[in-house]
Structure 1
Amino acid sequence: MRAVALATALSVALAGCGRASRGPEGGEGASGTDSARQRPVVVLQGVDATTLDPAGHAETPAYNILNNIYDTLIYRNQDMKLEPGLATEWRTLNDTTWELKLREGVRFHNGDPFNAYDVKATIERIIDPEEASPRRNNLSAVQEVRVIDDYTVHIITSVPYPILPNRLANEHVISAEYLAEYGKEHLANNPMGTGPYRFVRWVKQEEVVLEANPDYWRGAPQIQQVIFRPVPEAATRISQIQTGQADIAVNIPANQVEALRNDSRVRIVEVPSVRVIYVAVQTRRGGILANPTFRRALAHAIDGEALIENVLMGNGYLMATALTPQHFGFNPDLQPYRYDPDLARQLLAEAGYQGEEIQFDTPSGRYAMDKEMAEAIAGQLAQVGVNVRIQVNEWGNHVDLMTSREQKGIYILGWGNATWDADGTLSPLLFGDGAFSSYESPEVDELILRARSTMDPAERERLYHEALRMIHEDAAHLIDWRQKDVYATSTRIHWLPRSDEEINLFSATWAG
């Protein structure tokens, strides 16, 4: 029997998670007026969730809402270290069997006790091909979940799967009985978990309202009511913070940051993000975009440093791939494509480009300056003679376009890989069957599969380095940049941003 991971005590670890002190009943550890504390804390995201089904999405806006309603088996703290959640211990019994011991005494919001059957239902639903979950690739190595007793499960994998704990840290646990009684359509609109907040209502494209769970197993939240609202326009998000209508706003434009730092009504908080934004190419439909020489021409036509400096106002980091240096498997030998418009024109001629129109899909308001970056990139491509047409999409339609593989040109998307392992990026984005992949290479697929099932860290790293080298050489992405997450908050709360972009209000407190 070989132990691979054994969790430490949750009570000790929570002390380092950036939480303020609390009163004996989840009361306030900081002062504030009664009237201010009676108002809900309002969070402004750029877009609404597409669903509130934990297995039905692969997006941060939905995850942020659900993270306040549900718990995960394993928790990642403010420093991105793994800690016990609904699982108190985890270890390997052999190369393909993980044992998890579960937390006793936890109840769902409807009063039902949490147990091993909920874990089984959660995982087996995600991996069921008929469910077509966009999260399926996260747990694709899992074959079966065996219930040993009410608080012990064995997870059986088809191959050795060293990153399973990392994966479980991102999967919200549902109630098996609730799903069986009401069905997945009801679940998608009326989530019910074990987390710090209970679901109240969702008015689509307007707001999701949550209320504190006074019986939460970690203690009652200090903030009693939370509202998530989608506000695509950055100026509107900023205005609502300044006028006291909101408390947390995402994606503050770089050109507004300095002015807001001098506004006594606003706090600016920022952190280097786990998220990498990229421009990907639809290579699966044939035509000029399937030609790697043409893709390399586009990559050399983009001046990434100028984009970071002039569009993002320095609030970003140009990357060679969609992995940050903090991710396991990052290849430090790769560099972003050099800006060289003359070489770009030469490669366009070699590729036989005849002026075909290239559609460029982008969201607006989902990522910081996303539409503006698309417009600037299109301008740079036009300078070397590439005919680009910008298509701005509503976020839900943009996601559907990617997952349905109906996208026909190039597109902006972002990926926040909170597993901190290369597999969490390569499998969904650059593996042939990945939910968001527009690239396919049998050689790269083989490297990803081998790395996923290799227990030796050095060999896994070598395989990832080689896969990234091939992807980079193929110009599957034209440009990658790491986002700096900049938030504006009101002065009545204390809340710390996280590199994985999670917005969890259990850690928020009233400000003094």
Structure 2
Amino acid sequence: MRMLKAAAIAALSITPLQLGAALAATPASTLVVAQNIDDIVSIDPAEAYEFSSGEYVTQTYDRLVQYDAPDLKTLAPGLATQWQADEAAKTITFTLRDGVSFSSGNPVRAEDVLYSWKRVLFLNKSPAFLLTQLGWTPENFASKVKAEGNKVTLSYEGGLSPAFVLNVLASRPASVVDEATVASHEESGDMGNAWLKANSAGTGPFVLKTYRPAELLNLAANPNYFGGAPALKSVIIRHVAEAATQQLLLESGDVDMAKNLTPDQIGRISTEGKFTVETYPQAAVHFLSLNQKKEALTNPAVWEAARYLVNYKGMTDSFLKGQMQVHQAFWPAGFPGSLDDNPFTYDPTKAKKILADAGVQTPIDVTLDVINSAPFTDMAQSLQAGFAEAGINLKILPGTGSQVITKYRARTHEAMLLYWGPDLMDPDSNARAFAYNEDNSDGNYQATTTWRNGWAVPDEMNKQVVAARAETDPKKRDAMYVDLQRKVQAKSPIVVMLQATTQVAMAKNVSGYVNGAVSDFVFYRLVKKG
């Protein structure tokens, strides 16, 4: 009954929007998107920490430096046209772009940058930790970041490379807001937080026209955008929770794009040939990990054999088709520093030989914790079948997401099937998780896969992670991360298997849509219709 009621409410929630445009083509100057956006908690860039809110922030705000369409591999000038790093002094000086104004008409000033970063620290919402990595606190911020004319100079602490700092400043909470406008709407010391949950105050290619939670986001083009006015006059993102309803709206012409269709629906639409379906790799990597607190899983031969017992192609060609692609390194494909080699294939015969040559006694009985929902349970069953071929018996233990993650954090599992996404698009984010653990003691909790699996990472690898984070030469830095990924591939109890993908169905007259590996890298500015 609850499921039926929820479906009925979801259908009713879009009825008012359908009445006026049922079975009619969308306006030529407007892109209409059907998408589930009920994850949004806040659209204030100092608080936004959800997938859909990250997408929104990219449309309405800019950072000093940022990744931009169509080239998502290169960190490019944003509100700053140039910057100068002093590695010895641990400072970076930015020169602001001339002639840029906020949507209010107020000119962008260096003081706006300081205000924007300061409010992230003082509000201390979920994404604030990204800026505190630089050693910034509400107490020391005034001494760490200075504004003078059209320049912003910042200093940072710790063994950080300028490249890492720049990637932090390209992340969502570093977005620049209009101080004069936001401060004028402050209530009870909230630094405009309540007002920014329903309004925008940025420089981005779009301006928020209307936001109704769990109903719609209506964005109007900013004709004065410094990167060039958007090709379309508006983008309307309609909240449509049900995939079946999204498909219906797309097929009837009421929307131009559907973002949450199932693989079966995508398959049918692709066969019909009436729409375009694009597949975009996402940043989340899915992995199998073996807890080193279980004696039977500590032999490196077991780690190596495990890599040949995963039926990668079998999964991605069947129930994961369109949802994931084979990827066997901890940093996702599509970004500098990624390792895109996939050296392992499903080969039980080879796995058995590896175990036999190492003198590993089978059978081995292992429990496998997994989130009790698709596609994770299907993946677990595939692993169970594959590992059984080599005498490793996986007993699947399904649980809720919170149960599985709580067990993982407590290091009480034996084997675990999970996924991991970076907090910012810098390879250090995942290197710290998959290749670093200097203190493996139970009392030294770390939010990493290495510590949670009880893996005492070799000292050489720990030192390389620290050195890569501090390396100033971009090419050398990328090469260090590629080498780290090869080492984790070769010898670790963490088997990276797959990288998530997302598929978007759209009308054939839609072009120019860019969807990167994270929600922050979704761009509507270049979209055209016709």
TM-score tier after normalising by the smaller chain length = 0.7 to 0.9
**Aligned-partner SS, 1:385:** strand
Q: Unaligned regions of 5+ residues in structure 1, if any? A: 1-32
Pick closer, same or farther for the CA change 1:437–1:123 going to 2, 3 Å.
Answer: farther
Tell me if the contact between 2:513 and 2:523 (Cα under 8 Å) persists in the aligned partners. Answer: no
C-alpha distance in structure 2 between counterparts of 1:464 and 1:336, whole Å: 20
Q: Does 1:97 align with 2:106?
A: no
Give the letter aligned to residue 239 of structure 1. Answer: L
The equivalent residue for 1:162 is 162
Pick closer, same or farther for the CA change 1:210–1:474 going to 2, 3 Å.
Answer: farther
Pick closer, same or farther for the CA change 1:507–1:475 going to 2, 3 Å.
Answer: same
Shift of 1:360: 0.7
Shift of 1:387: 0.9
Which has the higher mean CA deviation after the structures are superposed, 251-260 or 495-504? Answer: 251-260
**1:119 aligned to 113, 117, 133, which one?**
113
Q: Deviations over 1:39-85 (max 9, x none)?
A: 76124258723543434466543311221222222232302234332
Q: Does 1:198 align with 2:212?
A: no
Shift of 1:492: 5.4
Tell me if the contact between 2:365 and 2:395 (Cα under 8 Å) persists in the aligned partners. Answer: no
TM-score, normalization by structure 2: 0.70
Pick closer, same or farther for the CA change 1:381–1:190 going to 2, 3 Å.
Answer: farther
The equivalent residue for 2:419 is 413
The equivalent residue for 2:14 is none
CA RMSD of aligned residues (A): 4.5
Tell me if the contact between 1:304 and 1:479 (Cα under 8 Å) persists in the aligned partners. Answer: no
**1:260 aligned to 269, 272, 280, which one?**
269
The equivalent residue for 2:133 is 140
C-alpha distance in structure 1 between counterparts of 2:376 and 2:492, whole Å: 20
Percent identity, please. Answer: 16
Q: Does 1:152 align with 2:161?
A: no
The equivalent residue for 2:343 is 335
Tell me if the contact between 1:116 and 1:149 (Cα under 8 Å) persists in the aligned partners. Answer: yes
Shift of 1:459: 4.5
The equivalent residue for 1:63 is 54
Tell me if the contact between 2:246 and 2:260 (Cα under 8 Å) persists in the aligned partners. Answer: no
Q: Unaligned regions of 5+ residues in structure 2, if any? A: 1-23, 438-443
Residues paired across the two proteins, number: 463
Tell me if the contact between 2:26 and 2:254 (Cα under 8 Å) persists in the aligned partners. Answer: no
Task: Write out aligned runs for 1:71-470 (5 A).
Answer: 71-75=62-66, 76-80=68-72, 81-95=74-88, 96-109=90-103, 113-123=107-117, 128=121, 131=124, 133-134=126-127, 136-137=129-130, 140-141=133-134, 145-158=144-157, 159=159, 161-163=161-163, 164-171=165-172, 172-176=175-179, 178=182, 181-182=186-187, 183=190, 186=194, 189-190=197-198, 192-194=200-202, 195=204, 196-198=206-208, 200-203=210-213, 206-212=214-220, 214=222, 216-218=224-226, 221=230, 222-229=232-239, 231=241, 234-250=243-259, 253=262, 256-257=265-266, 259-263=268-272, 265-271=274-280, 273=281, 275-281=283-289, 291=298, 299-313=307-321, 316-324=324-332, 326-331=334-339, 335-336=343-344, 339-340=347-348, 342=352, 354-356=365-367, 358-361=368-371, 372-373=378-379, 376-377=382-383, 380=386, 384-391=392-399, 393=401, 401=405, 405=409, 409=413, 410-413=416-419, 415=421, 419=425, 421-427=426-432, 437-440=448-451, 441=456, 443=459, 444-457=461-474, 459-461=476-478, 463-470=480-487
C-alpha distance in structure 2 between counterparts of 1:188 and 1:352, whole Å: 59
Tell me if the contact between 2:380 and 2:396 (Cα under 8 Å) persists in the aligned partners. Answer: no
Give the letter aligned to residue 211 of structure 2. Answer: R
Tell me if the contact between 1:276 and 1:322 (Cα under 8 Å) persists in the aligned partners. Answer: no
Q: Deviations over 1:131-153 (max 9, x none)?
A: 37456357724656422325310
